[in-house]
Chains A and B, each alone.
Chain A
């Protein structure tokens, strides 16, 4: 049971990486695997409620062409990572936790975060919940 849990450490705060994390989350949730997201650094910053719907840019490796392709898919109607995470939470067991150290780093309080975020936890709590399941760092 423990090994079914998929844990994603979401470190990056650009839209391409958040999109990839959201798609992985939705896929695992669809297969009834519990999924836990642990938000650190810029990944956490992207979940601030005053910024979550903003353009978060793309990672450097995307380059101008990658960025243009991301925008084209968006224009064609691709669900945003925020929408995909909301859907994943609707259909499956998905828990999103903010890293307490990153909260301190960014000077954030729980009320500064979008309601998608379920709570704040430390790294030990993260590993206990991850159990023997896979952990991915994005």
Chain B
């Protein structure tokens, strides 16, 4: 996947200092505070996030835009649907 697949990000959460389940907790908080259509990018160095966050997104009814491997961390981009 490339950057061109990513729609404009409305908010970036740098959770690289957090451990499981911190990045997910921070994403949930941002989703609650945001509005439908917001695109939230989470940066996480926790290995669990790239599987955990997509599973949560599916269950919670939001949209996974993509999971991108960056230098030393993962970027997970989520669109708030409801």
Contacts and interface: CB of A to CB of B under 8 A. Distances in A.
Interface of A: 23, 26-27, 30-32, 73, 76-79, 84, 87-88, 90-91
B25 A30 contact: yes
A44 to B, nearest CB: 24
Contacts of B22: 78-79, 84
Contacts of B21: 23, 26-27, 30, 84
Interface stretch (B12-20, B34-42, B63-71): B12-20
B56 A30 contact: yes
Interface in B25-57: 25, 28-29, 32, 56
Contacts of A87: 25
Interface residues of B, number: 14
B25 to A, nearest CB: 5
Query: Mostly helix, strand, loop or mixed at chain B's interface?
Result: helix
A90 B29 contact: yes
Contact of A31 (B20, B29, B59): B59
Given A31-B56, A91-B32, A78 B19 contact: yes
B24 A79 contact: no
Nearest to A87: B25
A26 B48 CA distance: 14
A30 B19 contact: no
Nearest 7 pairs between A and B by C-beta?
Answer: A78-B19, A77-B17, A87-B25, A26-B21, A91-B28, A27-B21, A79-B22
A79 B19 contact: yes
Nearest to A83: B22
A79 B56 contact: no
Given A23-B21, A91-B25, 6 more contacts: A23-B20, A26-B25, A27-B24, A30-B25, A31-B60, A32-B59
B72 to A, nearest CB: 14
Nearest to B25: A87
Nearest to B21: A26
A91 B19 contact: no
A77 B18 contact: yes
A68 to B, nearest CB: 16
